[in-house]
């Protein structure tokens, strides 16, 4: 924890607009990426410079807007199932003047692939939605990546419960087991290289072999 606190103390302060988004997310109990996690994702974006990004799990648009901040030349397609969060995301996208760069789609990501595919192919797939469906999202959307495309999956350590769920509630333990199964499937996949980085809530980085 001391190490994490130290690293967090080194992070640059987000803009006032993003700080307000973070406060709103906390007040409304909307899960957004942890500070170290979003900082890591933004650095990946700066290095990779993906021009076309697909995000599964918009929430209120926080991570999409931070990815755009990291590489303003990118275009982002983002999918959100929850109607109220989708509407919040549209509000923030418009507030940031990013409506020409971020295309938000409302619907279940497992049902709107035909709509999403029209925006592809994608250089980066970012998965941050229903934890029990990560493998389904991967199967459905990985084929929409460019040859050098990268996949980033968030929350793959899930509050530490993936490594040890002995103190987790039954619901949390169930989610942790599903993520553990996904992680094991992912790192053993014959067509991809995957590294799991213990930053934020755990981030998996996957590239085609």
- Provide the residue ranges of all domains of the chain, joining segments of one domain with +: 2-157
pLDDT in tens, 11-50: 999 999 999 999 999 999 999 999 999 999 999 999 999 9
Q: Determine the average pLDDT of the residues in 178-202.
A: 96
- Residues flagged as binding site for S-adenosyl-L-methionine: 33, 63, 80, 108-109, 128
* Full DSSP string of 164-185: --TTS-HHHHHHHHHHHHHHHH
pLDDT in tens, 92-138: 999 999 999 999 999 999 999 999 999 999 999 999 999 999 999 99
Nearest to 59, CA basis, from 40, 78, 37: 78
To the nearest whole number, what is the mean pLDDT of the chain?
96
Rounded to the nearest 10 degrees, the angle between the axes of helix 35-48 and helix 2-9 is 60
Inform me whether the pLDDT recorded for 1 exceeds 70: no
| CA–CA distance, 144 with 110 (Å, rounded to integer) | 14
Q: What is the number of other CB atoms lying within 10 angstroms of the CB of residue 92?
A: 22
- Residues flagged as binding site for Mg(2+): 128, 154-155
Q: Determine the average pLDDT of the residues in 168-193.
A: 96
Inform me whether the pLDDT recorded for 179 exceeds 90: yes
pLDDT computed for residue 74 by the predictor: 98
pLDDT computed for residue 204 by the predictor: 98
| Residues paired with 154 in a beta bridge | 203
Q: Could you tell me the pLDDT band of residue 2, with boundaries at 50, 70 and 90?
A: confident
- Residues flagged as binding site: 33, 63, 80, 108-109, 128, 154-155
Q: What percent of the chain has pLDDT over 70?
A: 100
pLDDT computed for residue 143 by the predictor: 97
Considering the domain delimited by 2-157, tell me its CATH architecture.
3-Layer(aba) Sandwich (3.40)
| CA–CA distance, 192 with 198 (Å, rounded to integer) | 19
């Amino acid at each position: 924890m001391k190490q994490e606190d130290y690293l967090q103390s080194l992070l640059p302060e987000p803009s006032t607009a993003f700080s307000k988004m973070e406060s709103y997310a906390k007040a409304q109990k909307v899960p957004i990426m942890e500070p170290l996690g979003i900082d890591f994702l933004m650095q990946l974006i700066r290095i990779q410079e993906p021009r076309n990004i697909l995000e599964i799990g918009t929430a209120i648009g926080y991570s999409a807007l931070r990815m755009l901040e990291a590489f303003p030349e990118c275009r982002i397609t983002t999918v959100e199932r929850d109607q109220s969060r989708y509407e919040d995301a549209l509000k923030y996208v418009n507030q940031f003047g990013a409506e020409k760069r971020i295309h938000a789609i409302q619907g279940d990501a497992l049902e709107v692939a035909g709509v999403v595919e029209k925006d592809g192919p994608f250089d980066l797939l970012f998965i941050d939605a229903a934890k029990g469906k990560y493998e389904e999202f991967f199967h459905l959307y990985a084929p929409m990546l460019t040859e050098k495309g990268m996949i980033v999956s968030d929350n793959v350590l899930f509050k530490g419960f993936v490594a040890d769920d002995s103190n987790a509630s039954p619901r949390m333990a169930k989610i942790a087991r599903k993520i553990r199964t996904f992680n094991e499937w992912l790192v053993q996949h014959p067509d991809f290289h995957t590294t799991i980085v213990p930053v934020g809530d755990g981030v998996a980085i996957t590239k085609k072999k």
